[in-house]
Structure 1
Amino acid sequence: MKNEDPDRSFSLKVYLLIIIVLSWPFQIAYPFLGEAFKPLLLLSMIMVAVGTYIAGKFVFRDGFENAGWQWGKPRHYAYAFGLALFLWAFPRVVEQLLGIYEAPQDISARTILIEFLLSFTITLIPAFSEELGWRGYLLPRLFARYTARKALLLHGFVTWVWHLPVVVVMGTQIAGNPLVSVPLVMLVSLVPTIMHAVVFAYIWSSTQSLAVSTVYHAAFDEVRDSIEGTIGLGPLSQNWQMLILTILGIALLWKAKWKKRANESLFCGFHPNL
């Protein structure tokens, strides 16, 4: 869809400012209020969609026509769940089998499954909110202005910036000097976060479906949280996903046919620099 007002062309700075103003207060408030207020993180995710709606409807007036309004195929959802399980459940099983990190004896698989299904259902709307913003809205506009790979890296960097309040809190929770631990956590999280965004982009662009990328997003978050909240995550579980997503993201960035995917993702009136 063509931008209806040439004087209101998309601006990354303005878009990011809208998202940050609406969502960061929830991310910043959560660590001060305590674990009971963890739902604030879900609200911060929902605010990405609210900000995106404001940007697309009222600020830039460029709409959401080609955001990915298809359901995808059953196998796409199977792959999405499979990847989430491989990233979190697989290393946890390995830890258990090798005796690296033992699970509490009173926690059953049924308990973990119930925990997952409940949290997964709750997270679907917040996950959709992020996918609408980062993949359905932002990425096509970056495809229109930059080479495909540059657009992918930039959109990944934006998602890392958006997570900064949480990343900073993680750094302060590490024993030692926060002046060292916070920058270290920020540095360590940078590449995996950007590469994970590339994986998200591949899922979204290959299926042309926000629904599929939303299911993967919710599955990734809640397989992790369900395991962590019941039997815990050991050292392998915590680092495995960062390694695999970095490798997978680099491979997709290098080998996937992004020129074709970028063209398919663009709406009429925008011409990619490919």
Structure 2
Amino acid sequence: MTAVRNHPLVTFFVLTFVIAWGFVPFGSFGAFAPLIAALIVAPIGRGRAGLVELGRRLVRWRVRWYWYALAIGVPVAVHLLAFGLGGTTATVSAGTVLLMFLLRVVDPTDGALGEEPGWRGFALPGMQTRLSPLATTAILAVVITVWHLPLAFLEGGDLRGNVAIIVVGTVAVTFWYTWLFNHTGGSVLLVVIAHAAEGAVQHEGLLYMVVWLAVAVVLVVVDLRSWLRPAPADATWAPDVPTTTARVS
């Protein structure tokens, strides 16, 4: 328990890898591992207040309407642009896309709700307490990319192509999710919505990921000042949350 309290982020990352990769020998992947790891480490490492803080981020819905529009609109625009440039995508009806989006928002075993409370609700604000958003996101991009790599083997087909898609796509959306999180007062809910919108249509090919990479570059270049200065207080761990006196029943 002392180790968890002294090193909550390290513990979170270790648990996330162990839980997710533990399913790989069985031909699966624990996409919900970040959520489980956060729910374990937050109350042990930061006390009851840490768990409350995580929960509040997950239901933080009071943001201006245009952030909801961006959370959904940016992924849709990326899909359309990639398709217009010659990318391939699954042929599905609008109703199917909407149903997939809604299911991803509420399904804790899916990437949106299964990942974001951990990556953005716990790890990102914890790291931004000491590092700039740019440095934090660069580190998280590497960690999350490595975490996703077993999927390249599980999906079959062209291994090099799968790895390239995972690397480019994961790095790109990590910057997008940080930007959205920091500009919405640390709202995990908005990031869950954005993640669900991104995966509602199964887009194939490296071109789609390259478009996401272009979005990430634009976000950094246009809003460079916010990436280099300290993150907003509501996008970091609350300083008054106890870390050394946490108790579990």
Could you say which TM-score interval applies, normalised by the shorter chain? 0.7 to 0.9
- Alignment match, 1:210: 188
Matched residue SS, 1:204: helix
* Aligned-partner Cα distance in 2 for 1:197–1:245: 10
Identity %: 19
* Aligned-partner Cα distance in 2 for 1:249–1:93: 19
Any stretches of 5+ residues in structure 2 without a counterpart? 241-249
Q: Deviations over 1:80-122 (max 9, x none)?
A: 2211111223432554xxxx8799xxx7xxx511221222222
> Is 1:70 aligned with 2:60?
yes
- Alignment match, 1:173: 157
The aligned runs of 1:1-274 (5 Å cut-off) are 8-30=5-27, 44-59=30-45, 61=47, 63-64=50-51, 65=53, 68=57, 69-71=59-61, 72-93=63-84, 95=86, 112-125=93-106, 126=110, 127-170=112-155, 172-174=156-158, 181-182=159-160, 185-186=162-163, 189-208=166-185, 209-223=187-201, 225=202, 233=204, 238-254=205-221, 255-258=224-227, 259-269=229-239
* Aligned-partner Cα distance in 2 for 1:241–1:267: 34
- Give TM-score, length-normalised by structure 2: 0.76
Any stretches of 5+ residues in structure 1 without a counterpart? 32-40, 175-180
AA partner of residue 49 (structure 1): L
State the Cα RMSD in Å.
Answer: 3.1
* Aligned-partner Cα distance in 1 for 2:235–2:89: 45
Q: Deviations over 1:123-155 (max 9, x none)?
A: 113312311111111011111233432211111
- Give TM-score, length-normalised by structure 1: 0.70
| TM superposition shift of 1:70 | 1.7
Q: Does structure 1 retain, via aligned residues, the 8 Å contact 2:149–2:166?
A: no
* Aligned-partner Cα distance in 1 for 2:11–2:132: 21
- Alignment match, 1:34: none
AA partner of residue 220 (structure 2): L
| TM superposition shift of 1:185 | 4.4
Any runs of at least 4 consecutive aligned residues in structure 1 with deviations exceeding 6 A, and if so which?
Answer: 100-103
- When Rg is computed on C-alpha atoms for both structures, the one with the higher figure is 1
CA distance 1:9–1:145, shift in 2 (3 Å): farther
| TM superposition shift of 1:198 | 1.0
* Aligned-partner Cα distance in 1 for 2:43–2:79: 38
Q: Greater share of helix residues, 1 or 2?
A: 1
